[in-house]
Amino acid sequence: MHQSTLAGLSEALRSKQISSTELTEHFISRCKKHNEQLNCFITINEEQALAAAKDADNIIGTDSASRLTGIPIAHKDIFCTNGIKTSCGSKMLDNFIAPYDATVVEKINQAGLISLGKTNMDEFAMGSSNETSYYGAVKNPWHLDHVPGGSSGGSASAVAAMLCPAATGTDTGGSIRQPASMCGITGLKPTYGRVSRYGMIAYASSLDQGGPMTRSAEDAALLMNVLAGFDERDSTSSDQLVEDYTERLNNPIEGIKIGLPKQYFDDGLDSEVASVIEDSIKQLEKLGAICKEIELPNTHLSIPAYYVVAPAECSSNLSRFDGVRFGYRCEDPKDLSDLYCRSRAEGFGNEVKRRIMIGTYVLSAGYYDAYYLKAQKIRHLIRDDFQTAFNEVDIIAGPTATGPAFKLNEKINDPVSMYLSDIYTVSVNLAGIPAISIPAGFVSSLPIGLQLIGNYFKESQLLNVAHQFQLATDWHQRTPEAFA
Ligand code: GLN
């Protein structure tokens, strides 16, 4: 039952083969059994989940039920959940009980899904390995001494280990796609503004975007039908009409043009990963796609630009954590300045402090033009590169990550090498376009993700290609043996 997709569980619930209460009990017991090993949950909401499941059982079969009523899900601990701890992976918010639900959470609740708990993550979503969490590193279910990827590593690990059938994640520079790739699941980062950021704790507001992490593209489409849409409480939310994301899943992809950026297949890519990606491109060609090489000439500037823009925005966003209004406050402050300084010094971890310092530096008067302004100009170039490419092709394909999941502690003391592992994901956020990572094979028994990038609001097309790929392959159905 835990191997099932959302689509499968929906059928089982509606035909009364199983009740939501049974399903929820089953997943809660798996969470409790495996969380010690994986550390993928910060909070498990057993009581609330069972109460919600009981309500769902009364509704299933009536007109008030949605297609997903009664199915359990987990939320990244960056989404505010009314009455439930929302830590963002930080000591700073270890005592924070959110007084309201994020729009994402509200929509999921309204659709009748059951929230099992809050998943572990890199502190304030800063990281690529889920090792910067105040609650300790998350483990990759395929290999417990490897990272699950970050920053939505708890969500990815939980879905891959089948502790929940789906989870929410957020992606500022790759945090949905990269852990999806490393854990062998499907992760979609929607177009900037497609999913509301209201109640999603801000890291870098012009890049942050929430989205689904699931076992299949079809499941991602089902969740996008719940998550997408305008929200007047988010000033950058898009009012573009929302499509039915499941409608086009079964369209043939014959004749679709796929661009392969030369810059994504150069020396920086592990050769075994390259051959997995090449095989999956051949598979897409078998399905009728027409592939050709394209150029994204400013790819090499994406990491430096991202690691100026993201810290700049984070330094501003995180200034609200001052020991006065939210979260952690130091003991016995001498005066106001001591309260600010010590609360922040004691409440934030090292990576967050590093980002705040970089961000404050690049925004300071003497350096603004040299760093921040320049990074913004590069951001335009990167966006233009994609637009030029989309004049020629419908979709861009390539790897999600430079290699399979690396070992715990391998990169944590080498921030530059950690940052470089984001090379294939950050430019998508800088441009604000959608992209999906889907399982495409294995290297050394660890999963590898294929990334498909689309133009603005082309989520439906991405999901269509991903679904057709998944009908022809079974990589997305592989599960880690230890959690069968
Ligand atoms: N690894 C990137 C960073 O550390 C992206 C994180 C994210 O998408 N939240 O900033």
Measured CA distances, 264 to 81, 235, 401, 459 (Å):
38, 34, 10, 21
Please provide residue 41's backbone torsions phi and psi, each rounded to the nearest 5 degrees: -110, 140
Q: Which residues line ligand 1 (CB under 6 A)?
A: 125-128, 151, 171-175, 203, 310, 422
Indicate whether 458 belongs to any domain. Answer: yes
Instruction: Write down the catalytic residue from 4, 20, 76, 411.
Output: 76
Q: State the pLDDT at residue 267.
A: 82
State phi, psi for 395 to the nearest 5 degrees.
-140, 150
Q: Is residue 311 part of a domain?
A: yes
Gap between the Cα atoms of 317 and 114, Å rounded: 30
Question: Is residue 466 within 8 Å of residue 472, measured between CB atoms?
Answer: no
Same domain, 370 and 409: no
Q: Indicate if 372 and 409 belong to the same structural domain.
A: no
The Cα–Cα gap between 147 and 165 comes to: 20
Q: What is the pTM of this model?
A: 0.98
User: What's the number of CA atoms in the CB half-sphere (13 Å) around residue 388?
Assistant: 12
Q: How many CB atoms lie within 10 A of CB 444?
A: 12
Based on the fold, state whether residues 421 and 325 are members of the same structural domain. no
Residues 413-418: contacts with CB within 8 Å, 24+ apart?
Answer: 415/351, 415/354, 418/127, 418/128, 418/129
| Of 128, 175, 238, 421, catalytic | 175
Question: What is the model's pLDDT at position 266?
Answer: 87
Q: What is the whole-number distance in angstroms between the Cα of residue 318 and the centre of ligand 1?
A: 15
Residues 229 and 305 in one domain: no
The amino acid sitting at 30 is: R
In a domain, 389, yes or no: no
The residue to which tokens 């929509």 are assigned = 107
Give domain status of residue 277, yes or no. no
Q: Check whether residue 368 and residue 417 sit in a common domain.
A: no
CATH of the domain at 417: 3.90.1300.10
Q: Residue 213 pairs with which residues in a beta bridge? A: 167, 187
Phi, psi of 212 (to 5 degrees): -85, 145
Catalytic residue (choose from 151, 237, 238, 315)? 151
Q: Which atom of ligand 1 is nearest to the CA of 422?
A: 1
| Ligand 1 atom closest to 171 (CA) | 8
CA atoms within 13 A on the CB side of 475: 33
Let me know whether 86 and 177 are in one domain.
Answer: yes
What pLDDT sits at residue 326? Answer: 85
In the prediction, which pLDDT does 302 show? 97
In a domain, 1, yes or no: no
Angle, vertex CA 237, rays to CA 159 and CA 391, nearest 5: 85
Residues of the chain with pLDDT > 90, as a percent, come to: 98
Give the position, in ligand 1's atom list, of the atom nearest the Cα of 125: 9
Is 151 annotated in the active site? yes
Pocket test for ligand 1, best of 133, 151, 168, 429 (most atoms within 8 A of CB): 151
- Strand pairing of 290-294 and 257-261? parallel
Residue 76 annotated as catalytic = yes
Whole-angstrom Cα distance, residue 340 to residue 31? 38
Looking at the fold, whether 350 and 405 belong to one and the same domain comes out as: no
Retrieve residue 254's tokens: 């014959």
Give strand pairing partners of 81.
84
| Closest ligand 1 atom to 421 CA | 1
Q: Are 74 and 123 found together in one domain?
A: yes
Q: Ligand 1 center to residue 336 CA distance, Å? A: 32
Question: Final residue of a domain: which of 345, 376, 407?
Answer: 376
**Rounded Cα gap, residues 57 and 65, in angstroms:** 10
* 119 beta partners: 41, 76
Q: CB count, 10 Å around CB of 283? A: 18
Cis bond upstream, residue 151 (ω within 30) = yes
Tell me if 470 sits within 8 A of 476, measured CB to CB.
yes
- The ranges of the chain with pLDDT < 70 are none
* 192 alpha-carbon distance from chain centroid: 13
Name the token pair of 151: 């920053």
Please indicate whether residue 374 is annotated as part of the active site.
no
186-233 pLDDT per residue, tens: 999 999 999 999 999 999 999 999 999 999 999 999 999 999 999 999
Quick one: which of 310, 360, 314, 351 has its CA closest to 90? 351
Instruction: Note whether 218 and 249 are within 8 A (CB).
Output: yes
Q: In Å, how far are 39, 115, 144, 166, 405 from 482, measured between CA atoms?
A: 15, 25, 10, 19, 17
Residue 39 CA to residue 37 CA, distance in Å, equals: 6
Q: Which residues pair with 290 in a beta bridge?
A: 257
Residues 433, 474, single domain; the answer is: yes
Same domain, 352 and 404: no
Q: Do 370 and 436 sit in the same domain of this protein?
A: no
Q: Contact 203/196 with Cβ under 8 angstroms?
A: no
Q: Report how far ligand 1's centroid is from the alpha carbon of 143 (Å).
A: 22
Q: Which of 376, 408, 437 is the last residue of a domain?
A: 376
State the Cα–Cα distance between residues 415 and 400, nearest whole angstrom.
19
Domain membership of residue 107 (yes or no) is: yes
Residue type, 137: A
Q: How many domains does the chain have?
A: 2
HSE-up of 287 (CA within 13 Å, CB side)? 23
Do 191 and 130 have their domain in common?
A: yes
Q: Write down the pLDDT at residue 261.
A: 98
205 and 235 Cβ atoms separated by less than 8 Å: no
State which amino acid sits at residue 293: E
The Å distance, Cα 10 to ligand 1 centre, comes to: 33
Task: Give every CB contact of residue 107 below 8 A, 6+ residues apart in sequence.
Answer: 226, 227, 229
CA-CA distance, 213 to 436, in Å (whole number)? 10
Using the mean position of ligand 1's atoms as its centre, give its distance from the Cα of residue 64 in Å. Answer: 38
Sheet holding 210-214, edge to edge: 41-44, 114-119, 72-76, 167-170, 210-214, 186-189, 435-443, 446-454, 395-399, 257-261, 290-294
Residue-range definition of the domain harbouring residue 360:
300-376
Model pLDDT, residue 268: 82
Compute the residue count for the chain: 484
| CA–CA dist 197, 263 (Å, integer) | 31
